[in-house]
Structure 1
Amino acid sequence: MPSKSSTRLAALTVAAVCSAASTIALTTPAHADSVRVHDIQGTTRISPYAGKQVTDVTGIVTALRTYGSSRGFWIQDPDADADPATSEGVFVFTSSTPKGVAVGDLVKVSGTVTEYVPGGTSSGNQALTEITKPVTTVVSSGNAVPAATVIDAKSVPSAYVPAGDSAAGNSVNGLTLQPSKYALDLYESLEGMNVQVSDTRVVGATDPYTELWVTVKPWENRSWRGATVYGSYESQNTGRLQIQSLGAVADFPKANVGDTLTGTTAGPLDYNQFGGYTLIASQLGTLKSAGLKRETTEKQRNGELAVATYNVENLDPSDATFEEHAAAIVNNLQSPDIVSLEEIQDNNGATNDGTVAADQTVQKLIDAITAAGGPAYDWRSVDPANNTDGGEPGGNIRQVFLFNPERVSFMDRAGGDATTAVGVTEVDDKAALTVSPGRIDPTNTAFTSSRKPLVGEFVFRGRTVFVIANHFNSKGGDHSLTSQYQPVARSSETQRHQQATLVNSFVKDILDTQKNARVVTLGDINDFEFSETTRILESDGALWSAVKSLPKNERYSYVYQGNAQVLDQILVSPSIRRGCDLEFDSVHINAEFNDQISDHDPQVLRFRP
């Protein structure tokens, strides 16, 4: 998942940076005379000329990139061959601002063919074919730029990518491209070429890195709000394409999901670390707003308990978003009785000085909620040990319970701290926690450098409800959907599966003690409702993910690379699920908007205990 990392900001424009650690040289350097661009690109993802010197490669300059670390220009051969698998375009990496060339110049380029892997070979990303260390000669100027190849619903296949070659570690690099059969093969066959899309719907809002996502397949897994929903590991949504621009940052549209880029958007097709195949626009369409509005959930009735989860994205006292978060909780979430907050940072945020307390952070939010007309929430949490729970170094993120003491009481049981494991005991023939608030098995290696689940015992109208707030291990380190390795490796799942097993076991301890106990397990699960992580949480019928009560095209809380997906969940025990009045709502206030205050949408569950 994207973060606020400055590393990403710097790397976004490094799609073609040449470095020894991230290049692929498959042949011994030699000399190759008078090759064409399509010869260099070849019929696989790796050039047959990788590592070789080439001379007088002819093409017309289609665009220049004069900013960032990936400076250079694209050339395209106007005389295409008859093979649809071979691209006619290639990027010429100049390192510094390209000089002496202009769009429309017919040039001859000599240099070294290089396969650059954005993010390094360990990222699993595909390689970008480039000509590096170029010597360029302008033959003529003012030539017509080759017509852009149209990418649309008809041209993009429904299958995403072939399975990789098992003899090559499941890599697709050596497979012959089949652009009429697989979407990623089509995009690879157009790498470096001038392409265009028209009247495309935005499926990933403009982000701080001046990029957005569109789809060329308007009905592909569409939500009623205009998102493209990621509903299984087999529905990668082939019509998605990232859009960046060669123009001024100030001119880039501020788009929300559901908006449309009308007219033509055209430019070279690139490949980068953070989005795979990307149209670098020299011509941008005009933004047409769909008028998307932030959602508001229903207010809980007197006899209903409203429980919510909300990832507030590294909130600390220096942030300027407290009033906006408060307004969201009061107005859009309708002041839930219990709110599980994820990513509450300590009192001085990313300052790495040993501070772990977060009372100032939480109190500032509570005060803002009260000022916005909400209840005077009380709160409970357990401070982590310094720099042991992952997240931004020095930030010490943790989960926090807010609760409205006018409607809910908290059962305090002393003894909970960063390293003491909460247990389940029996009191008056009912399940109870040994400490409240407490943390589930905090010294278990499953929670190394990750948040420990926070457990609390609440009472609503005389009935006990156990709430477990989670923030599972992130997807960092997983290969992207456009990886050269197919099927995609998801290494981060291992730790989430371990965490889910422990939480499921804890819930079963409660249910073994009291069969009809009411348990709500919620938070940023960092995994999909169809994932193995969720299956483990739900195993033996201990829990059920309430997002499954929604139609499939409404199941999402996060938008990543144009895919609207579930990361935040609320799971309930059988006694809650059996209630006929259970209502779940994924409240879309952030993920679809360019001016989001968090990258997650909150979730709300209303039920009668």
Structure 2
Amino acid sequence: MPSRSSARLAALTVAAVCSAASAVVVTSPAHADSVRVHDIQGTTRISPFAGQKVTDVPGIVTATRTYGSSKGFWLQDPTPDDNPATSEGVFVFTGSTPKVAVGDSVTVTGTVSEYVPGGASSGNQSVTEITKPAITAVSTGNAVPAPVVIDEHSVPDQYTPAGDAAAGGSVDGLALEPSKYALDYYESLEGMNVQVADARVVTGTDPYSELWVTVKPHEHRTPRGGTRYGSYTSQNTGRLQIQSLGSTADFPKANVGDTLAGATTGPLDFNQFGGYTLVASELGTLKSGGLQRETTKKQSRGELAVATYNVENLDPSDATFDQHAAAIVHNLQSPDIVSLEEIQDDNGAKDDGTVDASQTVKKLIDAIVAAGGPKYDWRSIDPVNDQDGGEPGGNIRQVFLFNPQRVSFVDRPGGDSTTAVGVTKVHGKAQLTVSPGRVAPADTAWANSRKPLAGEFAFRGETVFVIANHLNSKGGDQGLTARYQPPVRGSEVQRHAQATLVNAFVKDILHVQRNANVIALGDMNDFEFSDTAKILEGQGELWSAIKSLPRSERYTYDYQGNQQVLDQILISPSIRHADDYTYDSVHINSEFNDQISDHDPQVLRFRP
């Protein structure tokens, strides 16, 4: 009777067929016999053997992936070459549960492919793989090659080279320079066993059991332990996504500022949602950083407090009303005016023609009262069904909440989903033609996007114009790790057109009344340093008040470990130059794994 070990060795000779529907195959005349892993990986992002069959490629199995649609294993050559640009690891795509184990020494015959996560249209880099493999066992129980330690000393400060203009901006054909560029460094480790140690967490764990860490403790660090994104040219090169090869039930529930203490080890992969990712076979131990949710100060009697808060597709079926109410009452200290973004209609994503959102808003107002807050009144305009983007059938829109004990809303009839609000002059002062009203709703800039909601308010005898916005999202833009450098930000085209219309409307108000109090606020879906913000600001008509904060505190959102500004409150000169306003980005969501929205609210306090 054969031994258990020899029986398993016999079972290791397998063949698997994969679908190449998502692969980008580049043919090459290179000779493909008796090559090593580093030959396959080569010195660029595209294998010199792409599209070719390779025979008896040797290596040690370092990890297996037995879940999802990308089943297979990572193979690493224990005898590396002396070229730091060539990776010694590669993923072997089996298409079904692999019949190998960690520590097996095998040889693989198969076809080299360049697989693009998300498809070629995503602009993502490709992953070099061996597909349609035939696997031959050599031995079992071998030591896995020692992991390459990724730390602040090994990762370059420059993020990426500029792409080759002759190749449409692609970096695929450029020779890797791992000592000069961070993305080249990570690419030179693709498929290899790597390790980070005592890494600080820079995102809350997401619903997909993923988090991001930084291996550079001092890189653009925020006071609360995150990593701030402050310009297109100054990237955070130490960020790395962490997933687990094990059970997601055991994945740590981390917040920003926590630490994965000890070693986190596994193969370095590249995926559609984050780029370079350490897929951990060994996870560090979560050590809490003790992060707490912030609370802003209460406005004084003579101050008007105006807030913006994206409540992330809120509809009556959600279980977060009490939490949102507590946040508004306690963390935001019951602002006088709250611009809400992403209020859905009364049946949420059910696409049956419903556009009214009165039940959604009433449920939130009642929850605020129950939490000890004021009984807010509200104004909004229902959108045309399925014309404002967002979740299909959800009909998201902006809503003004206001405390009638502190501030009044000036109602002027006639505003609806298709009628444009205008500006008139009455007794030397600016007035809106309709209130509430929508800004240029018929303009093509708002196609499948939210139209701004304008309202006229009165506070202690002074008029304040508020424009609530939710500009075009960044969906469809290429990621920071794209094969095209710099990445294409296609969503900006529509957002710039929208910002132009908002600025033009503010100009109309200020043309009539130079010293008018105007606030344009909301989810601008762009950074305070972006061209979108510059267009909104115009020639001084507005100014993004988040820039009054220290740079390290300017963020409202956390995306892939980059804490950044998406939500803004822009103010007219009469507010900005009064020198008596205060601004607060109230961090209650973006840094936490149990967030009730993915955005942090913003609060402006000033004396009109």
Residues 1:62 and 2:62 aligned together: yes
Q: What is the DSSP-based 3-state SS (H/G/I as helix, E as strand, rest coil) of the residue aligned with 1:361?
A: helix
2:542 corresponds to which residue? 543
**Equivalent residue number for residue 272 of structure 1:** 271
Q: Find the counterpart in structure 2 of residue 413 from structure 1.
A: 412
Q: Which residue of structure 2 lines up, in the alignment, with residue 27 of structure 1?
A: 27
Q: Using the alignment, how far apart are the partners of 1:29 and 1:597 within structure 2?
A: 54
Counterpart of 1:326, as a letter, is A
Contact 1:29-1:51 at 8 Å conserved across structures: no
Aligned-partner SS, 2:508: helix
SS at match of 1:103: coil
CA distance in 2, matches of 1:581, 1:543: 17
Structure 2 Cα separation of the partners of residues 271 and 25 of structure 1: 17
- 1:30 positional shift: 8.2
Closer, same or farther: CA 390–29 of 1 in aligned 2, 3 Å: farther
Q: Does structure 1 conserve the Cα–Cα contact (< 8 Å) formed by 2:524 and 2:567? A: yes
Cα contact 2:492–2:532 (8 A) shared by 1: yes
* Structure 2: gaps spanning 5 or more residues: 1-16
Find the residue that maps to 2:532 and give its secondary structure: helix
Q: Is the 8 A contact 2:28 2:49 kept in 1?
A: no
1:127–1:186 CA distance, 2 compared to 1 (3 A): same
* TM-score, with structure 2 as normaliser: 0.97
| Residues 18 and 94 in structure 2, CA contact (< 8 A), matched pair in contact too | no
| Deviation of 1:29 (Å) | 8.2
2-structure distance, mates of 1:144, 1:78: 9
Compared CA separation, residues 150 and 497, structure 1 to 2 (3 A): same
Work out the CA distance in 1 between the residues paired with 2:607 and 2:481. 45
The AA in structure 1 aligned to 2:54 is V
Amino acid at match of 1:62: T
Q: How does 1:152-551 map to 2 (within 5 A)?
A: 152-551=151-550
Q: For 2:18 and 2:88, how far apart are their aligned partners in 1?
A: 21
Q: Partners of 1:456 and 1:326 in 2: how far apart?
A: 23
Tell me, yes or no, if the aligned pair for 1:221 and 1:228 is still in contact at 8 Å. yes
Shift of 1:82: 0.5
Give the 3 Å change call, closer, same or farther, for CA 418–18 of structure 1 in structure 2: farther
The one-letter code matched in structure 2 to 1:519 is: V
Query: How far, CA to CA, are the matches of 1:187 and 1:244 in structure 2?
Result: 16
Tell me the alpha carbon deviations over residues 141-173 of structure 1, each in whole angstroms, 9 at most, x when there is no partner.
Answer: 010000000000000000000000000001000
Q: TM-score, normalised by structure 1?
A: 0.96
Query: Which deviates further from its counterpart, 18-27 or 535-544?
Result: 18-27
CA distance in 2, matches of 1:458, 1:19: 60
SS at match of 1:541: coil
Q: Is the 8 A contact 1:21 1:120 kept in 2?
A: no
C-alpha deviations, 1:37-57, integer Å up to 9, x for none?
000000000000001111111
Partners of 2:278 and 2:312 in 1: CA distance: 29
Aligned partners of 1:503 and 1:537 also within 8 Å = yes
Deviations 1:364-423 (A, max 9, x none): 000000000000000000000000000000000000000000000000000011100000
Residue equivalent to 1:135:
134
Aligned to 2:14: none
1:88 corresponding residue in structure 2 = 88
CA offset digits 1:434-457 (Å, max 9, x no partner): 000000000100000000000000
Identity %: 77
Task: Using the TM superposition, give the Cα deviation of residue 569 of structure 1 relative to its aligned residue in structure 2, in angstroms.
Answer: 0.1
Partner of 2:11: none
Deviation at 1:501, TM superposition (A): 0.4
After TM superposition, give the deviation of residue 250 of structure 1 in Å: 1.2
Q: What is the aligned-residue RMSD (CA, Å)?
A: 1.0
1:20 deviation in Å?
A: 4.3
Provide Cα deviations, 1:191-237, integer angstroms capped at 9, x if missing partner.
00000000000001100000000000000000000010000001210
Q: What is the alpha-carbon distance in structure 2 between the residues aligned to residue 22 and residue 110 of structure 1? A: 21
Aligned partners of 1:18 and 1:116 also within 8 Å: no
Report deviation, 1:263: 0.3
| Partner Cα separation in structure 2 for residue 73 and residue 125 of structure 1 | 22
Cα 1:187/1:368, change in 2 over 3 Å: same
State the match for 1:76 in structure 2.
76
**CA distance change for structure 1 residues 536 and 22 in 2, over 3 Å: closer, same or farther?**
same
Structure 1 CA distance for aligned equivalents of residues 142 and 412 of structure 2: 78
SS at match of 1:132: strand
**What letter is aligned with 2:61?**
V
Structure 2 Cα separation of the partners of residues 606 and 339 of structure 1 = 12
Aligned to 1:7: none
- Matched position secondary structure for 1:591: coil
Distance 2:21 2:479 in 1: 20
- Once the two structures are TM-superposed, the CA of residue 28 in structure 1 deviates from its matched residue by 5.6
- In structure 1, distance between residues paired with 2:117 and 2:386: 30
SS of 1:512's partner is helix
Contact 1:74-1:192 at 8 Å conserved across structures: yes
Q: 1:20 to 1:134 in 2, by over 3 A?
A: closer
Deviation string 1:220-272 (CA, Å, 9 cap, x unpaired) is: 00000001000000121000000000011111000000000010000000000
- Residues of 1 paired with 2:26 and 2:59: CA distance? 25
Segments of 5+ residues of structure 1 without an aligned counterpart are 1-16
Q: Is the 8 A contact 1:23 1:114 kept in 2?
A: yes
Alignment CA distance shift 1:344-1:178 (3 Å):
same
- Preserved contact between residue 467 and residue 519 of structure 1 (Cα < 8 Å): yes
Distance, in Å, in 2 between the alignment partners of 1:209 and 1:441 is 39
CA distance in 2, matches of 1:26, 1:72: 22
Which residue type is aligned with residue 304 of structure 2? L
**Partners of 2:292 and 2:538 in 1: how far apart?**
37
Distance 1:42 1:31, change over 3 A: closer
Partner amino acid, structure 2, of 1:356 = V
Cα distance, 1:426 vs structure 2:
1.0
Q: Which residue of 2 aligns with 1:585?
A: 584
Question: What does residue 5 of structure 1 align with?
Answer: none
Counterpart CA distance in 1 for 2:23 and 2:62 is 25
Which whole-Å CA distance do the structure 2 matches of 1:463 and 1:22 have between them?
A: 60
CA distance in 1, matches of 2:400, 2:106: 64
On the 8 A contact 2:201/2:260 being kept in 1, the answer is yes
